[in-house]
Amino acid sequence: MRKIIFLGLLVIFTVIFVQTAWAGPIKLTYSIFFPPTHGQNKAGEAWAREVERLTNGRVKITVFSGGTLTPADQTYDSVVKGISDIGMSCFAYTKGRFPVMEAVDLPLGYPNGQVASHVANDFYMKMRPKELDNVKVLYIHAHGPGLLHTKKPVATLEDLKGLKIRSTGLSSKIVQALGGIPVAMPQGETYESLQKGVVDGTFTPMETLKGWKQAEVVKYTTDCPGVGYTTAMFVVMNLKKWNSLPKDVQKIIEEVSARWVDVHGKTWRSDDAAGRDFSLGLGNRIVPLSRGENARWKKAVSPVVSEYVLYAEKKGLPGKKSVSELENLIKKYAKKYK
């Protein structure tokens, strides 16, 4: 009898083993809007390779860079629908869709991308907004302070008045508050728009000057730390696909994702430095604001924060709490990552 039971169990285990072997690795697709050579795309690819390594090849992730699988402004919905299993893009590309996460992009004086990335991820973990309940959020990261890059020098609010400036999400309100004319568009369209004169400048972090080659089509960067905003970026996974993964694979992905917040943060910092060097190497100039002018710019954008709080509260969302939480997180991480 024992022999029969043993043989029966052996047959069952053999069948399970063979079925698992036939099934092959778990194949996932990953859509990233950054071009292949960009530091953030490389960080995303490194995340994928780390997941593959730690799962001993049980997971295989194919990365589609440069928006080749899904356009930047459609990446989130494409993940929800299962067109791609995983996606990285900006919340700001679908304005009004993520009202709580929009708070991260406010001009709160982010000093660098490492601080911004940890702040953005911690903010999500703290707030857990329902607007992201239809995906599995793997992690959030965010770029260093957005600065003004233009074809002609801008050293005062008067210089900026009437200029058409590429911007996204809440940064468009910053441009408007400063007297410019905001023009919404993804990063991928910015180079050509600057080149053809569709826009006079762009509000974006230093890294785009090299990562997106935009230093080739601008001449000046206005160093305006008083209005240092960021743009939060999601890395999310289709919820059905996530729920289908074995628990041990889920655990590995979560552990890698937690570590990769800082990987992206450090990459943002180094990419900003590289963008600055690249721009200066082309003969472009950095225009620093005077202390008084910096204060003027900061005062000019303060209504953007107030307006967000009112907007969020009217929608029944924690606008005041969101801003307070972000300010506290910036102070915390600014001390840690100077």
Residue 19 has what pLDDT?
42
- Do the Cβ atoms of 82 and 64 come closer than 8 Å? no
pLDDT score of 16 more than 50: no
Q: What is the bridge-based pairing of β-strands 147-150 and 59-64?
A: unpaired
Nearest-angstrom CA–CA distance, 4 and 117: 59
Q: Tell me which of 187 and 252 has the higher pLDDT.
A: 252
Percent residues over pLDDT 90 in the chain: 86
pLDDT band at 169 (very low <50, low <70, confident <90, very high): confident
pLDDT score of 14 more than 60: no
pLDDT band at 168 (very low <50, low <70, confident <90, very high): confident
For residue 332, give both structure tokens.
């915390």
Lowest mean pLDDT among 118-122, 177-181, 222-226, 281-285: 222-226
Q: What share of the chain is helix, strand, coil (3-state, %, to 5)?
A: 55, 15, 30
For the chain, what is the mean pLDDT?
A: 93
Residue with tokens 């940064």: 171
What is the arithmetic mean of pLDDT over 185-195? Answer: 92
pLDDT band at 149 (very low <50, low <70, confident <90, very high): very high
Residue 115 has what pLDDT?
97
pLDDT score of 18 more than 60: no
Residue 20 has what pLDDT?
44
Alpha-carbon separation of residue 150 from 27, 34, 153, 170, 215 (angstroms): 43, 22, 7, 19, 10
What is the arithmetic mean of pLDDT over 172-196? Answer: 94
Residue 256 has what pLDDT?
98
pLDDT score of 42 more than 50: yes
Who contacts 225 (Cβ-Cβ below 8 Å, separation ≥6)?
Answer: 109, 111, 145, 289, 294
SS3 298: helix
Q: Tell me which of 16 and 201 has the higher pLDDT.
A: 201
pLDDT band at 171 (very low <50, low <70, confident <90, very high): confident
What is the arithmetic mean of pLDDT over 211-233? Answer: 94
What would the pLDDT profile of 96-147 be if each residue is shown by its tens digit? 899 999 999 999 999 999 999 999 999 999 999 999 999 999 999 999 999 9
Phi-psi region of 149 (alpha: psi -120 to 50; beta: other; left: phi over 0): beta
pLDDT score of 15 more than 50: no
What would the pLDDT profile of 20-32 be if each residue is shown by its tens digit? 444 689 999 999 9
Alpha-carbon separation of residue 214 from 141, 176, 186, 189, 218 (angstroms): 22, 22, 13, 11, 7
